[in-house]
Structure 1
Amino acid sequence: MFKKKVISTLILSVLPGAGFSADFTEKVNQGTEVKNEVINDRQDVYGKILDSTITTGGHQYIHTGGSASNIVLNGGKSTVTGALIDNFKILSGIQKLESDAISENAYIAMSGIQHVNNNATAVSTTVENKGRQYINAGGRSENTTVNSDGTQYVYKNGMSNKTIINGGAVFVRGGTATNSTINSGKQVVTEGGTTSGDTINKGGYQNIGVNGSASNVTVNTGGRQDINTGGYAKDTTVIGGQYDIDPNATGENVSFDGGVGFIHEAGVLAGYATLKNGAEIYMAEGSDADISLSGQSNLYVINSIKNRNMNLNDSSVHFRSSFDNDLSTDLKEFKTLSVDKLDSSNSSFFMKVEGMSGDFLDVSEFSGTNNTVNIKGSGKESSDGYHLIHAGNSTNDAFKLNGDKVELGSYVYTLEKNNDDWYLKQHSDQLSSSAKAALSMASYASSIFTNEFHTISDRLNNSLTDIEGNHVWGRFISSDYRVDNGVNDPYKLKQNGFEYGIGKTLPTETGDISFGVSAGITQNKIKEKSGTHSDVDSYSIGLYASYIHKNGLYIDGLIKGNRFDTNSKVIVDSVDVATTEFKQTGFGSALEVGKYTWFDKTFFVPYTRAEYFIARSEDVSLSNGMKVDLGNDRSFKGEIGAKLGTNLNVGQSAKITPYFKISIENEFIDDNSVNINKSVKIRNDNSGTVGNYSLGLDAKIGKNASLFSEVGYSKGSNIEAPLNIKAGVRVLF
């Protein structure tokens, strides 16, 4: 043995193994064992070395027949040829494994590097924290674990087997990898590299790049195989994971059990693709592959594409998806799916038609039954017969429309077959929900206005107890109003609000004149039979005047302006919702003439009344694309009726006046109209006769105050108000 002396004190002060000798054996002969050495120069090992450290400047050569165990490489070099080493820690510096060398249980970190060269093997290596392992030509690794920040490179003619990736990275650049497990981190295969038999788990990512290839890879939930441009993968099994074929990449033979696949533009799907158990495939490019879907799986059509053979069973085809903009460089609103041969049963097709355009399914040879076509309703006006499907050899039970109908624009459509072609047929006698809702919206204003207006009229009717001077009053309104003209969507209007007023009463030689100004606000909740509901806030201001002759004759006059703020949610096709909001301005006036006839304390009042209202037309846009010109909401009503009541004194200063009122009211205007999409004009006729019945009580409390309440019921050909409540107070001063 030969020993070389070094400056021991300095070395021992900086090395972790401070108890090691600063002298080392330059040559460890065969049959000799040394340990606890610090090597900072050349050392040749033919025997056995244990528990030592190689530092900067040190270079250990382990030759055929030699061995090493528990060595720390910390800045120096290690070259192993034809020898067995165990438990090397490569913290910095470089180790080279040459011909027939075997390394077991090595640990590589902290910028340490291991090269595995010709016929050398690295077994059960751990690489992490900036450590690197290079598998070069003829080199081989077995059971390497690559943790976070660790890297393994497999070059041409190099091989790795059973590598486990836990947050690190493996680059197969021309070499061969087999049976890798990617738990997290990534594996990148390029430059003629190949990989096979891999398993990709949650958080794992495999990238097959230019001239790279993969085969027999399993992608589990949370894992992803991405075939990049120029890459190729065959016989992939996806079990809940993700599979991508990028532009100018090829994937051949893929099986999905759950999970999702993306076929990008210019991506090639070859061989076959089978999907089951809710798997999804998004196709921006057509394919000659045999595509089969079952078990509620889904195909998403991104661009207009052509496929050769498809088989669908209990699955769905969607003509749009949330990934359309990500996968297409030239996205069109409507798409065509062309299939040479399609066998489809018990499956669904989700398509879209708007206006004169829509999706199209074109099948040369079709077989199968009981498929459902789902068309999302649209507010845009369509043609009277849209060509939706061509299916060669299809039978009458091949397709049916979900819900048996769809609403497009103003009308209802059904799916009809003509030879091998399937059309959406318009039924011009059946208005769509959107059209019916538009007709209802067009009459909201007049319905709200009428009830508010009657409140002021009733206030004037109860003004006989007013005395000379000023007055203020307020009334609460609550009503349940129902409208059904046989054309619109029948609706219920629940109105709650207040009307206020301030005025003055002046005596004349022949009677009293009362006049004033009113203001009001009501909240109106409207629910239509279809489920459509609207909120309308009404704000109003008006002027009123009344003259009451001493002989009982009276004349009441009113004018009022309203502002209506409407927010609506329209139910389309029973499930979809279209929204809109708009504002309207309305003006109205009324004139009432009657005559009080007294029989002691009892009075009888016949009267007649005329009322006119108009709400200006508004252009309304629904979120489903429908454009509506509401037209002027006009109303002209005539009413005749009678009121019977009596005055009852209660104490010295109080008086109550119960009464009953009955009238017949007629709406004369029958030619209001609504214009939909500038092409369909629909008459909105709310004319007809209504009977009104009311019980009320006017109670004078003291000299200057009175209370009022009234409950009413109305019923007519188009209108019913089962409960109409008004209550208020007025104060004279």
Structure 2
Amino acid sequence: MQHKYRLNVSILLMSSLLIQNINAREKITENVNELLKNLVIDKGGTQRNVRTIWGISQNTKIERGEIKIVEYGSSVNATVTEGGKQVVMGGATAMNTKVEGGKQFVLGSSDFQSKKSSAYHAIISGKDGVFGQQNVYDGGESWYTKIMKGGEQNVYKVVQTKKGGTTSNTEVSENGRQRILAGGEAKNVTLKDDAVQIVYRGGVVDNLTISDSANSWVYVGATLTGKTIVNNSGHLHLYAGDPTSHITREDIIVTGQPSISLFSVGPWSDESNSQINIENLSGNGTVSVSSVGYNHHHLHLYVKSLSGSLHFQFNLSNMGGRSDYLLIDNGTGNHKISVTDSGTEIANFFLQKNHVVTGLNLITDKSRKAKFTLVNRSGQNTNAFDGGTYMYGLYSRESVKNGKNEKIWYLGANIPKTHRIRSRRYAGQHDFDTSVLSSESSQVSDVLTSLFLEDRVAEPKSRRRPPRHVRQHEPDISVLSSESPQVSDVLTTPSLQDQTTEPKPRRRAPRHVSQHELDIPVLNSESSQVTDPSTAPSLEDQNTQLKSRKRFPRHLSQYQPNSLEFDLEEPQASDFLTTPSTDAVLSLAVAPELVFNNELQSLRAGRGVLEKNRENTALWTYTIKNKEQIATGHTHFKLDQAGIMLGTDWVTQLLYGKLYIGGFGSYDQARINHARRGVSGMNTYSFGTYATYLNEYGWYLDSIVKYNRYQNHLKAVSTSGLAIQGDYNQWAIGTSLEGGYRFQTGQSTWVRPYSQFTWLQVKDKEIQLSNGMIGDISSSTSLRSEVGLSIRHAFNFNTNVSSLIGYVTAAWLREYIDNNHTMINKRHKFITDLSDNAGKLAIGLNSFVSKNLTFYTEAQYLKGHKMTQSLQGILGIRYSF
């Protein structure tokens, strides 16, 4: 009886297991049928060449239009060519598969054995320009996969209740690529050659090595655990913002059977802060921060352990007043920081209430052991970059948080060598670290220091004493972070105290603060005197508290590493270095009036000698060539101008003289060679009219009205060598009035004293450069006077026709207007002051070949304080009918 019961129990157990096995198989079969029902529709047609392998298959070749489903069994040495598909599912195994332009799908597991579907030692490559693919998802696994030329591996999750795909020990080489999507996990990945890896939000990479010229793109929301090593020319891109992607569904259909769908990436929207966590980051490659073009974000990068000699490339575009930020727990090594030159403002240069010049925090190093150097994008030391209107350098300071010291690395407005020498001397006397004061750009130091010294010594400007309400606080330089990095609980963020240095009021205001225009800082392009702080975040917004303190002696620099304060009485705002794009905008703001005046200077001589003309119509033309050099404030450039003018006039006999009335048109090309690299161009079209009255007693009066149309092509070079350009049009209108008296002092010799007044106005224009800078060029005016004396002598050759007249002219010129201005980035106002005195010397020769034909030439030389030199040549011809 006992044995009978045992037998019954055994039978029941076996039946139960058999039923469970059958049920499991039925369930799997249902899943497979569901998979196969709509598995692939090939261009609208049903694929019928579908085989399911339940056992073991070897050396199978899967070609175009064929689908091999490996379920419960295994596949060895299969080859999947273009258009073919291998599906490994139900706990099956594929070994040594070669994918050559085809696709392999590894997904799911065995429901009754919990055995995951897996692929070992697969080689993925493309063929004839078609990428081969390995897709691992929803519990599938791949081991020791090699992604080669034209190959691609995608690891992700479709069903949220399941575990995503996992790949281990993958090697990506040549131009192969690996994509880790949401739910996917890659372990021990090696990127070689020109390989590319993309880690999307929700993807995980554990231990990553980037070598050669490989690139890894890591989106916000991705996780890098273990060691991340960037070697040689390898590049780790940290991508802020939401990537554009979409789910593609591919259905395979087999007649009479259910279907399964194969998926790829789907879209999402990242509403949270852009943040990437890296557990261990090392190597000597490049780590760059970028932003998706349609969805700009800044990034917070938290690194638990940093080592090696990496090159960090930051993004500091002014988006919401924020910037990228790097937070380090434990750091070592010497690293490089590069920031792309930008024409947009990276920081509010003046605070609204307490006249504080701000900087921008970049890095918090809790260990204080990592060192950073500012370089350009090529890795060469530059110590300065363009941050909108002004140039910035990299500095560091110590900060205390929760009783522990931290080091803050920040960007501050760059100061020329002249003031830093004084600052360094004072800092050395007080045992301060003077290394942070060595931020002089190797690319700009020579030219800028010389220009700065020239302007400061040769062009002193008187300063007004400001009103009391402006003199309450003296400007400091404080460091205000563009935002407080919001990091998760596992992170330790820089405190507000770290990011903000409290400005402190002083008893006396800086002398460079003016009484006028309290809403906008006005910087003279000659001596750049600040008249008022610009609109900026209020003290309440910045959580800044004012604290009084004593004022240091004037002869001492005010630099203090802990509080980051500079006395802006010395240096002033004019001491901060402007960017090449700022100088280029200011230079082109004054160039139109120079071109206009050069044309007027040549127009009188270019019309020929009216005194010798017959009483009939004449046609004249001339060419002009001009070279001049301007050196004032931020307008340092050389102007090369060449053009041609064509005109005609006719004469009317009046009671006591003759009246000549004429018209003209001209075309000029000008090249503006900027002192800080770059050559801008200007095409000028003009037309006008003139009237000249010659009195028979020797008096004359000459008037000109002229209209110019400018096509300006600004081209400059940023500090790090990036091209900057901007095209825009302007117009100008002006007039000239000249009067004089001609009398004879001897046989064939005449003397002519004269005076001339010239007025013109150039239309205002708002321009935008390719680097994001905005320049508001105000309507500018020029008023110039000229007083001179001309001596002429005629040489006769005993003929009735031919004669030669030579002359010498000496004159004194003065420009009166000194308040033209240009606004940079809607914030900084610069006075473009060309008021100056200049001397002029001209020599000319007129050759009367016949009664109707005259050749003439003239050379002029001008010398002034701001117009250091100007040389102009004219060559013309006049024919009377």
TM-score (norm 2): 0.64
- The correspondence for 1:513, drawn from 641, 656, 659, is 659
* In structure 2, C-alpha distance between the alignment counterparts of 1:346 and 1:267, rounded to whole Å: 24
Structure number with bigger Rg = 1
| One-letter code aligned to 1:393 | S
Percent of paired sites with the same residue: 24
Which residue of structure 2 aligns with residue 452 of structure 1? 599
Amino acid at match of 1:415: L
Does the CA-based 8 Å contact 2:607-2:621 persist in structure 1?
Answer: no
Match of 1:418 in 2: 397
SS at match of 1:671: coil
2:289 to 316, 319, 323: 319
Q: Give the superposition deviation at 1:130.
A: 7.8
1:246 aligned residue? 181
| CA distance in structure 2 between the aligned counterparts of 1:730 and 1:246, rounded to whole angstroms | 79
Amino acid at match of 2:814: N
Partner Cα separation in structure 1 for residue 661 and residue 869 of structure 2 = 30
The partner residue of 2:312 within 348, 359, 374 is 348
The answer for the alignment partner of 1:68 in structure 2 is: none
1:388 aligns with 2:382: no
Corresponding position: 1:276 with 2:211? yes
For the structure 1 residues 495 and 295, does the alpha-carbon distance in structure 2 shift closer, same or farther, using more than 3 Å as the test?
A: same
Distance 1:189 1:701 in 2: 96
SS class of match (1:319): strand
2:712 to 534, 547, 566: 566
- Separation (CA, whole Å) in 1 of partners of 2:170 and 2:681: 55
| Partner of residue 658 from structure 1, selected from 806, 809, 816 | 806
Paired residue for 2:579? Answer: 432
Matches of 2:828 and 2:591, distance apart in 1:
21
Q: How far apart in 2 are the matches of 1:553 and 1:370?
A: 78
Q: Is the 8 A contact 1:666 1:689 kept in 2?
A: yes
Contact map agreement 1:368 1:398 (CA 8 A) in 2: no
The answer to whether residue 151 in structure 2 is matched with residue 223 in structure 1 is yes
Measured after TM superposition, the shift of residue 319 of structure 1 is 0.8
AA aligned to 1:573 is T
Structure 1 partner of 2:139: 211
**Counterpart pick for 1:485 among 622, 627, 632:** 632
- Secondary structure at the residue paired with 2:586? helix
- Verify: 1:361 aligned to 2:325, yes or no: yes
Partner of 1:94: none
Give the whole-Å Cα distance in 1 for the aligned partners of 2:761 and 2:101. Answer: 70
Q: How far apart are residue 300 of structure 1 and its match?
A: 0.9
Partner of 1:165: 80
Structure 1 partner of 2:105? 188
Matched, 1:263 2:199: yes
Q: Deviations over 1:68-109 (max 9, x none)?
A: xxxxxxxxxxxxxxxxxxxxxxxxxxxxxxxxxxxxxxxxxx
Where 1:320 maps in the other structure, the secondary structure is strand
2:68 and 2:612 mapped to 1: Cα distance? 101
Q: Measure how far apart 1:602 and its partner are.
A: 1.9
Distance 1:604 1:414 in 2: 60
1:356–1:572 CA distance, 2 compared to 1 (3 A): farther
Q: 2:337·2:375 contact (CA, 8 Å) conserved in 1?
A: yes
* In 2, Cα distance between equivalents of 1:578 and 1:654: 55
Amino acid at match of 2:755: T
Aligned residue identity for 1:414 = G
What does residue range 292-691 of structure 1 map to in structure 2 within 5 Å?
292-303=229-240, 304-320=274-290, 324=292, 331-354=295-318, 357-381=321-345, 382-383=347-348, 384-395=358-369, 397-402=371-376, 403-419=382-398, 420-427=407-414, 428=573, 429=575, 430-459=577-606, 462-488=609-635, 490-598=636-744, 599-650=746-797, 651-691=799-839
Q: Note the alpha carbon deviations across 1:616-666, whole angstroms, 9 max, x for none.
A: 211122222222111222212122222222212343312221222222212
> In the aligned structure 2, how far is the partner of 1:698 from the partner of 1:424?
62
Q: CA deviation at 1:288?
A: 4.7
Amino acid corresponding to residue 160 of structure 1 in structure 2: S
Q: Which has the higher contact order (CA 8 A, sep 6+)?
A: 2
Given the alignment of the two structures, is residue 135 of structure 1 paired with residue 53 of structure 2, yes or no? Answer: yes
Query: Within 1, Cα distance between the matches of 2:168 and 2:313?
Result: 30
Local SS of the residue matching 2:819: coil
Matches of 2:152 and 2:765 in 1, distance apart? Answer: 54
Cα distance in 1, alignment partners of residues 410 and 751 from structure 2 = 66
Runs of 5+ unmatched residues, structure 2: 1-46, 110-116, 158-163, 241-273, 349-357, 377-381, 399-406, 415-572
Mean CA deviation greater in 293-302 or 604-613: 604-613
Q: Secondary structure of 1:451's partner? A: helix
Report if aligned partners of 2:685, 2:709 keep a CA contact under 8 Å in 1.
Answer: yes
Return the structure number with greater helix share.
2
Q: Matches of 1:715 and 1:396 in 2, distance apart?
A: 54
Instruction: Compare the two structures and name the one with the higher strand fraction.
Output: 1
Task: Determine helix, strand or coil for the equivalent of 2:169.
Answer: strand
What one-letter code is carried by the residue in structure 1 that aligns with 2:583? Answer: K
Aligned to 2:67: 151
Deviations 1:307-329 (A, max 9, x none): 242323221111116xx36xxxx
Aligned partner letter, 1:152: K
Aligned partner of residue 570 in structure 1, secondary structure? strand
TM score, norm. by length of structure 1: 0.77
**Which of 95, 109, 116 is equivalent to 1:178?**
95
Distance 1:502 1:413 in 2: 55
Change (3 A) 1:142 1:344: same
Pairwise CA distance, 1:132: 5.1
Q: What secondary structure, in the 3-state scheme, does the structure 1 residue paired with 2:213 have?
A: coil
1:354 is paired with a residue whose SS is: coil
**1:319–1:691 Cα change, 3 Å:** same
Within the candidate set 123, 128, 144, 1:199 is matched to: 123
- Taking a change above 3 Å as real, the CA distance of residues 539 and 225 of structure 1, as seen in their structure-2 partners, is same
Taking a change above 3 Å as real, the CA distance of residues 401 and 295 of structure 1, as seen in their structure-2 partners, is closer
Label 1:714 to 1:366 Cα distance change in 2 as closer, same or farther (>3 A).
Answer: farther
8 Å CA contact 2:607, 2:878 repeated in 1: no
Contact persistence 1:239–1:256 (CA under 8 A): yes
Q: Is the 8 A contact 1:530 1:574 kept in 2?
A: no
Counterpart amino acid of residue 520 in structure 1:
S
> Contact conserved, 1:701 with 1:707, CA < 8 A, in 2?
yes
Instruction: Determine which of 719, 723, 728 is the counterpart of 2:867.
Output: 719
Q: Deviations over 1:146-183 (max 9, x none)?
A: 33444322112x11112223333211122111121223
Pick one of 699, 702, 708 that aligns with 2:856: 708
Give SS of 2:600's match.
Answer: helix
Instruction: Label 1:548 to 1:253 Cα distance change in 2 as closer, same or farther (>3 A).
Output: same
Q: Secondary structure at the match of 2:102?
A: strand
User: Shift of the alpha carbon at 1:460?
Assistant: 5.6
Question: Partner letter of residue 418 of structure 1?
Answer: R
Report if aligned partners of 1:342, 1:363 keep a CA contact under 8 Å in 2: no
Q: Is the 8 A contact 2:331 2:367 kept in 1?
A: yes
Structure 1 residues 317-357: Cα deviation after superposition (integer angstroms, max 9, x where no partner):
11116xx36xxxx9333222222222242433343333773
Residue 471 (structure 1) shift: 2.2
Deviation track 1:458-509 (CA, whole Å, cap 9, x = no partner) reads: 2467211112232222221222232221322x22222222222222222334
Whichever residue aligns with residue 61 of structure 2, its letter is T
How many Å separate the matches in 2 of 1:629 and 1:467? 50
Matched residue, 1:104: none
Hey, what's the Cα distance between the residues in 2 that align with 1:615 and 1:331?
A: 40
- Given that 1:261 and 1:281 are in contact with CA atoms closer than 8 Å, whether structure 2 keeps it comes out as yes
User: Relative to 1, partners in 2 of residues 1:590 and 1:223: Cα closer, same or farther, differing over 3 Å?
Assistant: same
SS of 2:716 mapped into structure 1 = strand
